[in-house]
C-alpha cells in the first residue's frame, strides 16, 4: 500500500509543519470533522508538531460516539430478544448504553454478531428464515450507501426477516450547527475525505459562502492532514474562504453519483439527536415509506425508549475550554472511564479520560501537557 | 453539558449546541458475566486474574505473574507453566491448534530462561468431531514437540456433548530446567536497557483474523507459530544478564510492554519507524482499523538487555531461523514510570495503551 510510506514521510511532515509555521501570524482554530482524522492526529502526534498558534478542535465526526444513548438502548432491547440475531460493526459492541453494552447482551445469551458489511446481515437473514435479523445501521454518508444497498436488497428479494435500526447522521448540517453555535470558535474546517468521496463537495459551497469559512476536503494520512491544515491557514491568513479539494486521489467534485441515487431512493432526511451535542435539524437519514417495513425501530416497537443523559456531566464546558476536566464536580467520582457520564470520559482520547488515565503523570491543576512530550 | 433530552421531549431546533471531540468509546469494564474480552489478554483479562484468581490462590510464585513460575526443587530450579488453546479455526495458514499447544507452552517456559523438557496434553473434544482431524492435530503436536526438543509424557481426554465445545480444546502444561545464574523476570527492566523484538509483529493474530472472517488480502498472512527455546539459549549464552524476556501473545507487544513498565516501575520508549511489521499485516491492520502493537504473536519474543549487550543479543537472535527480522525498537527510561511511549513516524509521541478487551474492527 503506497500510502504506508508515501504519505507518512517524517521529513516531508516536518517540511509541511515548517510551511505552516511560516504562514501563520495569529491564532487559528481548525476543526477536523471526521473521527478518522481525529484518530490519525492523536495516533501520529500531528498536533505536537504544529505551531502553538494552531489549535485543532476535534469535531463531532465519529459516528460511534455521536450515536445517541437512546439508539444504543434500543439496540440493547432488540438484541436481548431470543428471536433476534443482532448484527453490528465491531466497534459498536462496546458503546455503553444506560444499562450496559452489546457485549453484556451477548454474555447473557443474546445472539450478537460482528459483520464487516450490512450485506452479510442480509445473507444471515436468508440463512435463518425462522429468526429476525437486525443490523445496526449507523454512520455518516460513508457507510450509508452499503446500508441502503442492504435494505434495498432485502426489499427486492423479499427477505422480510431482515431489518435495520437506522441512525445515520450527515456532515453539512453538523457544520452548520457548529457555525451557528454561540460558543463557536472554529475558523476553518477539514472536511472528511471519505464522506466527500460519496457525496462530492458541491454542497459545501453554500456553507463556505454563508459563513465565510474555509473548508478543505482532507484525507487521513499524516501528510494529507498537514496539507489540509496548511491550506486552511493559507486561506485564513489571506482572508479568503473557499472549498478546496486536498484529497483529489479519492474525491471528485460530483462524488459517487450511483451511491447518491441509491441513498436518495432508500433514505429521507430527518432531525437527529447527536450524543454529546444535542438535536440538529435535518441532520440524519431515516428509511423512506417504501422501505419502512425494514425499520427495526417500528418492527420491534422500541420507538418509545427515551433516555436522558446525565445532568451532572459538564463535558460541553470542558470541550469549549471553559473548565478543566478535574473542575467538574462528577470527575473521578460519579464519572470515570468505567462509568462514563459524557463523551469526554467515554472516549479513551477524550479530555476527561486523558486526565483520569494520566493524572498520575500530569498534575491535575497544571496546564494541559502531553505526557508523551516528556519522553 | 446542555440538556440531552431526546427531541421527542424538547423543542429541538435552536437549542444550544455543545460541540467538540467525542471520540471512540472505551468499553464498560464492570460486567456481571464473563465476556469474550476477558480472554483478550488486555485490561479485562488482567482484572479477572487480579480480582478472581489471585485472591483465591494467593502465593509468592503466582503473584509475580510470569509466563512461567520458577521453583526450587532438590537443588534445581524448575520452570512450570500451563496454557489452554481454543483457537478457531483449528487449522490456519502457518499452523494449527496442535502447533500452538506445543509452542505456546514451550515459549512460556523459555521466557524464564528455562530449557523446556516435558509437557502434558489434555484434550476436551466435542462429540461428533472427526477422528481424522483429531489425528491431524495429534500428528502436528508430535512434530512440533520433536522440533522443540520436548516430550509429551502424560495426557487426558474428555468428550463433551455436541454444541458444548468448539470441536477441540487443548491444554498443555510443561516443566523445564532454569540454568544457574539466570534471573529473568518481568519486573527486572532497568533504565538504560535496550528493547529488542525477535521479528515481525502481529502475524498470528492477522492470519487467524483473515481466515476466520474470510478476508482476502494480496497474499496469505502466515501465523508465526514457532518454538523459541533455542533462541533464548542463544541469547543467554551471549548475555547471561538478560533482564526481561516476554512472549507477546494475546494483547500483543503493547500488553507485554505495559506489564513490564508497570512491574519494573520504569518507562519504555519505542520508535514506530523501527518496528518490524510485514507490509501485508500492516495493510490488513489499516483496513480493519487495528493497531499491530495490539495484535497477537505466537513465535516472537521481546527482551530487555543492558545496552552493552544489545549488539551481541541482536546478532544471536538474527542467527536463529525464527529471528531474521529482529530489531532494536527502543529503550527503558526512568521517566514516566509505568507508561509506554511511542515516537511516531513524524517524530512526535503518543502513549501506547493496553487494549481493554479484544480489538474490534472500526467503523470510523
Question: Do the domain assignments include residue B208?
Answer: yes
Do residues B221 and B307 share a domain? yes
Smallest CA–CA separation between B243 and chain A, in Å? 22
Say yes or no: B346 contacts chain A, CB-CB below 8 A. yes
Provide the CATH number for the domain around residue B283.
3.90.650.10
Position A57 confidence tier, pLDDT thresholds 50, 70, 90: confident
Residue among A240, A238, A241, A167 at smallest CA distance from A204: A241
Could you tell me if B307 and B232 lie in one domain? yes
Q: Which of residues 326-345 of B touch A (CB under 8 A)?
A: 333, 335-336, 338-339, 341, 343-345
What pLDDT score was predicted for residue B353? Answer: 82
DSSP secondary structure, B158-208, as one string: EEE-TTSSSSEEEEEEEEEEEPTT----TT---TTPEEEE-S-SSHHHHHH
Residues A316, B361: C-beta atoms closer than 8 Å: no
The DSSP annotation for B189-257 comes to --TTPEEEE-S-SSHHHHHHHHHHTT---SSPPPP-----HHHHHHHHHH-TT--EEE---TTHHHHHH
User: Is B99 part of a structural domain of the chain?
Assistant: yes
Q: Helices in B289-364 by DSSP H: which ranges?
A: 310-319
pLDDT one-digit tens code per residue, A7-35: 889 999 999 999 999 999 999 999 988 87
Helix (H) / strand (E) containing B294: none
Range from A73-77, A133-137, A211-215, B347-351 carrying the lowest mean pLDDT: B347-351
Give kind and range of the element (H or E) at residue B77: strand B76-85
Q: What pLDDT score was predicted for residue B23?
A: 37
Hey, is the C-beta of B27 within 8 angstroms of any chain A C-beta?
yes
- Measure A373 CA to nearest chain B CA, in Å: 7
B233 lies in a domain?
yes
The residue among B136, B154, B178 that closes a domain is B178
Q: What is the pLDDT of residue A342?
A: 67
Residues B347 and B269 in one domain: yes
Quick check: A366 pLDDT over 70? no
Q: Are residues B124 and B234 in the same domain?
A: no
- Same domain, yes or no, for B138 and B277? no
Same domain, B173 and B250: no
The full set of domains in chain A, from first to last, is 10-14+26-62+171-245 (3.40.50.11750), 64-170+255-300 (3.40.50.11740)
Residue B75 within any structural domain of the chain: yes
Cα dihedral sign, A203-A204-A207-A208: negative
Q: With an 8 Å Cβ cutoff, are A103 and B361 in contact?
A: no
Residue B358 resides in a domain: no
CATH number at residue B112: 3.30.1330.10
List the domain range (segments joined by +) for residue B157: 66-178
> What's the gap in Å between the CA of B17 and the closest CA on chain A?
6
User: How far, in Å, CA of A49 to CA of A41, rounded?
Assistant: 10
- The whole-angstrom separation of Cα B300 and Cα B225 is 8
Residues B169 and B229 in one domain: no
Domain contains B60? no
Q: Do both B204 and B170 map to the same domain?
A: no
Within 10 angstroms of residue A186's Cβ, the number of other Cβ atoms is 20
What is the number of CB-based contacts under 8 A between chain A and chain B? 292
Do residues B197 and B338 share a domain? yes
Q: Are B219 and B162 within one domain?
A: no
- Mean pLDDT (chain A, rounded): 87
Give yes or no: residues B169 and B256 share one domain.
Answer: no
Asked whether residue B54 is domain-assigned, the answer is: no
Among B346, B347, B351, B352, most A C-beta atoms within 10 A, so best to mutate, is B346
DSSP B89: S
User: What pLDDT does B6 receive?
Assistant: 28
- Based on the fold, state whether residues B91 and B114 are members of the same structural domain: yes
Contact A34 B364 (CB under 8 A): yes
Instruction: Look up the pTM and report it.
Output: 0.85
Whether the CB of B18 is below 8 Å from some CB of chain A: the reply is: yes
Q: What local confidence, expressed as pLDDT, does residue B64 receive?
A: 80
Within-domain flag for B263: yes
Please state, in angstroms and rounded to a whole number, the distance separating the CA atoms of residues A224 and B223. 33
Per-residue pLDDT in tens (0 to 9) along chain B, 364 residues: 333 332 232 223 333 443 333 334 445 556 778 888 888 878 888 888 888 899 899 998 888 888 888 998 888 999 999 999 999 899 999 999 999 999 999 999 999 999 999 999 999 999 999 999 999 999 999 999 999 999 999 999 999 999 988 899 999 999 999 999 999 999 999 999 999 999 999 999 999 988 887 777 767 899 999 999 999 999 999 999 999 999 999 999 999 999 999 999 999 999 999 999 999 999 889 888 888 999 999 999 999 999 999 999 999 999 999 999 999 999 999 999 999 999 999 988 888 888 766 777 766 5
Number of domains in chain B: 2
DSSP state of A43: H
In this prediction, what percent of chain A has a pLDDT beyond 90?
60
State the CB neighbour count (10 A cutoff) for residue B67: 25
Amino acid at each position: 500500500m503506497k500510502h504506508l510510506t508515501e504519505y507518512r514521510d517524517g521529513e516531508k511532515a516536518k517540511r509541511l509543519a515548517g510551511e505552516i509555521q511560516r504562514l501563520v501570524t495569529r491564532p487559528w482554530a481548525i476543526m477536523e470533522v471526521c473521527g478518522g482524522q481525529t484518530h490519525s492526529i492523536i495516533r501520529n502526534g500531528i498536533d505536537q508538531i504544529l505551531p502553538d498558534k494552531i489549535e485543532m478542535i476535534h469535531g463531532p465526526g465519529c459516528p460511534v460516539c455521536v450515536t445517541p444513548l437512546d439508539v444504543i438502548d434500543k439496540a440493547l432491547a432488540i438484541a436481548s430478544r431470543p428471536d433476534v440475531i443482532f448484527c453490528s460493526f465491531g466497534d459498536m459492541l462496546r458503546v455503553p448504553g444506560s444499562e450496559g453494552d452489546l457485549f453484556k447482551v451477548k454474555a447473557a445469551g443474546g445472539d450478537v454478531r460482528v459483520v464487516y458489511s450490512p450485506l452479510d446481515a442480509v445473507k444471515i437473514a436468508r440463512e435463518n428464515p425462522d429468526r429476525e435479523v437486525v443490523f445496526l445501521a449507523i454512520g455518516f454518508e460513508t457507510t450509508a450507501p452499503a446500508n441502503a444497498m442492504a435494505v434495498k436488497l432485502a426489499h427486492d428479494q423479499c427477505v422480510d426477516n431482515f431489518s435495520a435500526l437506522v441512525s445515520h447522521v450527515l456532515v453539512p448540517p453538523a457544520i452548520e450547527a457548529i457555525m451557528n453555535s454561540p460558543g463557536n470558535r472554529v475558523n476553518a474546517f477539514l472536511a472528511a475525505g471519505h464522506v466527500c468521496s460519496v457525496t462530492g463537495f458541491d454542497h459545501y459551497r453554500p456553507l463556505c459562502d454563508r459563513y465565510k469559512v474555509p473548508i478543505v476536503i482532507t484525507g487521513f494520512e499524516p501528510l494529507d492532514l498537514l496539507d489540509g491544515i496548511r491550506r486552511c491557514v493559507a486561506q485564513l491568513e489571506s482572508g479568503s474562504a473557499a472549498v478546496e479539494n486536498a484529497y483529489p486521489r479519492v474525491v471528485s467534485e460530483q462524488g459517487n453519483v450511483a451511491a447518491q441515487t441509491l441513498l436518495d431512493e432508500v433514505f429521507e432526511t430527518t432531525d437527529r439527536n447527536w450524543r454529546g451535542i444535542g438535536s440538529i435539524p435535518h441532520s440524519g437519514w431515516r428509511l423512506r415509506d417504501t422501505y419502512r417495513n425494514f425499520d427495526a425501530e417500528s418492527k420491534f416497537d422500541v420507538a418509545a425508549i427515551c433516555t436522558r443523559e446525565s445532568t451532572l456531566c459538564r463535558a460541553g464546558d470542558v470541550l469549549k475550554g471553559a473548565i478543566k476536566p478535574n473542575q467538574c464536580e462528577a470527575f473521578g467520582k460519579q464519572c470515570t472511564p468505567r462509568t462514563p457520564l459524557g463523551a469526554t470520559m467515554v472516549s479513551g482520547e477524550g479530555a476527561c479520560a486523558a486526565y483520569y488515565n494520566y493524572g498520575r503523570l500530569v498534575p491535575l491543576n497544571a496546564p494541559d501537557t502531553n505526557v508523551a512530550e516528556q519522553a | 453539558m446542555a440538556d440531552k433530552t431526546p427531541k421527542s421531549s424538547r423543542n429541538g431546533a435552536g437549542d444550544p449546541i455543545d460541540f467538540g471531540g467525542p471520540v471512540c468509546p472505551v468499553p464498560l469494564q464492570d460486567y456481571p458475566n464473563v465476556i469474550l474480552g476477558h480472554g483478550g489478554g488486555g485490561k479485562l483479562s488482567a482484572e479477572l486474574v487480579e480480582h478472581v484468581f489471585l485472591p483465591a490462590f494467593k502465593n509468592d510464585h503466582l503473584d509475580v505473574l510470569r509466563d512461567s513460575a520458577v521453583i526450587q526443587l532438590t537443588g534445581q530450579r524448575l520452570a512450570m507453566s500451563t496454557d489452554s488453546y481454543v483457537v478457531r479455526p483449528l487449522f490456519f495458514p502457518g499452523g494449527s491448534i496442535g502447533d500452538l499447544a506445543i509452542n505456546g507452552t514451550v515459549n512460556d517456559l523459555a521466557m524464564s530462561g528455562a530449557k523446556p523438557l516435558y509437557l502434558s496434553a489434555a484434550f476436551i473434544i466435542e462429540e461428533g468431531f472427526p477422528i481424522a482431524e483429531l489425528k491431524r492435530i495429534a500428528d502436528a503436536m508430535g512434530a512440533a514437540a520433536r522440533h522443540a526438543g520436548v516430550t509429551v509424557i502424560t495426557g487426558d481426554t474428555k468428550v463433551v456433548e455436541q454444541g458444548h465445545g468448539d470441536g477441540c480444546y487443548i491444554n498443555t502444561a510443561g516443566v523445564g530446567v532454569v540454568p544457574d545464574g539466570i534471573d529473568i523476570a518481568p519486573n527486572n527492566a532497568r533504565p538504560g536497557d535496550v528493547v529488542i523484538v525477535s521479528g515481525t509483529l502481529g502475524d498470528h493474530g492477522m492470519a487467524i483474523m483473515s481466515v476466520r472472517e474470510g478476508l482476502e488480502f494480496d497474499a496469505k498472512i502466515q501465523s508465526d507459530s514457532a518454538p523459541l527455546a533455542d533462541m533464548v539459549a542463544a541469547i543467554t549464552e551471549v548475555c547471561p544478564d538478560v533482564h526481561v524476556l516476554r512472549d507477546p501473545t494475546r494483547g500483543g507487544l503493547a500488553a507485554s510492554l505495559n506489564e513490564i513498565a508497570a512491574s519494573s516501575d520504569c518507562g519504555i520508549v519505542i520508535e514506530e519507524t523501527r518496528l518490524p511489521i510485514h507490509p501485508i499485516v500492516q495493510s490488513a491492520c489499516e483496513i480493519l482499523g487495528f493497531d499491530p502493537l495490539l495484535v497477537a504473536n505466537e513465535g516472537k519474543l521481546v527482551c530487555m538487555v543492558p545496552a552493552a549487550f544489545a549488539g551481541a543479543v541482536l546478532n544471536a537472535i538474527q542467527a536463529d531461523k525464527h529471528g531474521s527480522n529482529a530489531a532494536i525498537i527502543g529503550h527503558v527510561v526512568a521517566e514516566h514510570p509505568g507508561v509506554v511511549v511511542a515516537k511516531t513516524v513524524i517524530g512526535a509521541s503518543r502513549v501506547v495503551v493496553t487494549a481493554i478487551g479484544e480489538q474490534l474492527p472500526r467503523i470510523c
